[in-house]
Amino acid sequence: MTMLGDRQQLAYIASQAADARVNVELETEGMTLNIGPQHPATHGTLRIIARLDGEQVLWAEPSAGYMHRGYEKLTEVRTYPQVTALVNRIDWLGSFANEVPFILGAEKLMGVEAPARAQHIRTILFELSRIANVSLFLGDLGVQLGAVTPVFFAFRDREYVLNLIEGATGGRFHPNFDRIGGLKDDLPAGFIEETHSVMKKLRNFCDEIENLLFGNEIFQSRTRGIGVIPKDVALQYGLSGANLRASGVDWDLRRDQDLPMAWNKADWKVITHPDGDSFARCWVRLQEVRESTKIVDQLLDTLPAGPVMAKVPKIIKVPEGEAFVSTENPLGEMGYYVVSQGDQGPFRVKIRSASFNNISIVPWLLKGVYVPDIITILASLYFILGDIDR
């Protein structure tokens, strides 16, 4: 594995090497530490097996699979509209965002495109799920470091967003709202005004978290220069989303991909950070929530009139073909490779979930870090268990 000549990374490695030398001289005996599967500081049931030398990790291995539900197999006995109910449960904090790439893939194979209004509403709900998802991350981040206050703020303000999603779709966590050819329904009355006021609250929440957490000296010393991922390593492991952008890769599928969605109709920025450490990953996510609120505000103002559903047959049969569609989900690149053989259900669906790739870097990343940093590094990588195991 090649390392970048980044000064910070080199200093970090040098300090680790110095510590390792001390340990060799003392000939300390190794010890295996099991973190999880049930542990307050893991999100769900991920188990980390770490071999320690003193306070330092010699090697660490995440053991996933406690929540494997076999969705790829289940899709093979479902029809296309039924699959959205399954994929909702992959990343359960940003459910609506999971439906979109699958529906877009099926639409691509069928040659159907959703009407402009449906594309706008899809994008709005997509960004609302991102805000709900990432705002919980920002609150949870504090808990991992022993700061309990931010999580209350996060739950309070996420509730506003969940209420909006519930108002529009009927489901707080699992909307199951996206249909091939458009959406199940139009937005409810009063949604636009309500959303504008909630977006204002969420921007306040971002300011609060920034003041409470990101400016905090303890937070900075626990995250700055910790868990550095160089750019080329991040790409090789297929890291995506904020984890990749925090390593200085200016790549966002919302901007760089030509999808029938409305992101290009709004004015927003792709946030990157050159450092690649835990702090950068958290900071990029915080800024992305701000950008998302801007996207939602602009799209609500430019919402086109018209139907929310294209004309599609009642019984959906997808023509033979293969398609890969991925979108920039709250956790990173979420994609579906759909193989159709002309039936009512897919022949094979490969679910490319973001957390699976994001967490596969953990054995590399945890080598040489100290035990307390395991938790902050995992927290900053941000994974959802359902998104790893599927």
Partner 1 sequence: MLLITTKLSEGVFPLSSATDTTEAPRDERRESELARVIEALGANVVDSLLKPNDDMWIRVTAESWRATGETLKSLGYSYFCFLSAIDWMPSPFGKGEDDPTAPAVERDNTIKQGYTGGATRFQILARVTQPFSSLGINIKVDVDDNAPVIDSWSSVYAGANWHERETHEMFGIGFNGHPDLRNMYLPTDFEGYPLRKDFPLLARIVKPWPGIVDVEPLPGDDSEEGEAS
Please tell me whether residue 109 binds partner 1 under the rule CB under 8 A: yes
Q: Are 106 and 318 in contact (CB under 8 A)?
A: yes
Stretch that binds partner 1, among 143-151, 174-182, 212-220, 336-344 (CB under 8 A): 336-344
- Residue from 25, 77, 189, 267 that binds partner 1 (CB under 8 A)? 77
Stretch that binds partner 1, among 13-21, 38-46, 163-171, 228-236 (CB under 8 A): 228-236
Please tell me whether residue 49 binds partner 1 under the rule CB under 8 A: no
Q: What is the largest CA-CA distance in the chain?
A: 74
Q: 151 in helix, strand or coil?
A: helix
Q: What is the DSSP pairing of strand 31-35 with strand 321-329?
A: unpaired
| Separation of CA 290 from chain center | 16
Q: How far apart are the first and last CA of the chain?
A: 29
Please tell me whether residue 103 binds partner 1 under the rule CB under 8 A: no
Which residue, 214 or 337, has its beta carbon nearer to partner 1? Answer: 337
Stretch that binds partner 1, among 41-49, 286-294, 320-328, 365-373 (CB under 8 A): 320-328
Please tell me whether residue 21 binds partner 1 under the rule CB under 8 A: no
Tokens 């701000």 belong to residue: 290
Which residue, 238 or 304, has its beta carbon nearer to partner 1? Answer: 238
Radius of gyration of the chain (CA): 21
Stretch that binds partner 1, among 35-43, 69-77, 171-179, 274-282 (CB under 8 A): 69-77
Q: Are 209 and 157 in contact (CB under 8 A)?
A: no
Residues 284-313 that bind partner 1 (CB under 8 A): 313
The dihedral of CA 379, 383, 381, 203: what is its sign?
A: negative
Which residue, 112 or 286, has its beta carbon nearer to partner 1? Answer: 112
Residue 328: closest CA among 352, 349, 361: 352
Tokens 């609150």 belong to residue: 139
Please tell me whether residue 155 binds partner 1 under the rule CB under 8 A: no
Number of residues located near partner 1, criterion CB under 8 A: 54
- E strand map for 132-240: 178-179, 182-183
- Residue from 6, 19, 76, 186 that binds partner 1 (CB under 8 A)? 76
Please tell me whether residue 45 binds partner 1 under the rule CB under 8 A: no
Backbone phi and psi for residue 261, each to the nearest 5 degrees, phi listed first: -130, 175
What type of residue sits at position 76? E
| Separation of CA 275 from chain center | 20
Stretch that binds partner 1, among 136-144, 187-195, 250-258, 299-307 (CB under 8 A): 250-258
Which residue, 66 or 214, has its beta carbon nearer to partner 1? Answer: 66
Dist CA 197 CA 199 (whole Å): 5
- Residue from 345, 375, 385, 386 that binds partner 1 (CB under 8 A)? 345
- Residue from 16, 232, 304, 371 that binds partner 1 (CB under 8 A)? 232
Backbone phi and psi for residue 345, each to the nearest 5 degrees, phi listed first: -125, 160
Which residue, 109 or 124, has its beta carbon nearer to partner 1? Answer: 109
Q: What is the DSSP pairing of strand 178-179 with strand 56-63?
A: unpaired
Provide, rounded to whole angstroms, the least separation between the CB of residue 171 and partner 1.
22
Dist CA 94 CA 331 (whole Å): 9
Dist CA 101 CA 218 (whole Å): 39
Please tell me whether residue 245 binds partner 1 under the rule CB under 8 A: no
The first and second tokens of residue 137, run together, are 């991350």
Which residue, 68 or 269, has its beta carbon nearer to partner 1? Answer: 68
- Residue from 147, 348, 371, 372 that binds partner 1 (CB under 8 A)? 348
Please tell me whether residue 251 binds partner 1 under the rule CB under 8 A: yes
Please tell me whether residue 264 binds partner 1 under the rule CB under 8 A: no
The residue ranges that bind partner 1 (CB under 8 A) are: 1, 64-65, 68, 70, 72-74, 76-77, 108-112, 232-233, 235-238, 244, 249-251, 253, 256-258, 313-315, 319-324, 326, 333, 335, 337, 339, 341, 345, 348, 350, 352, 356-357, 360-361, 364, 389
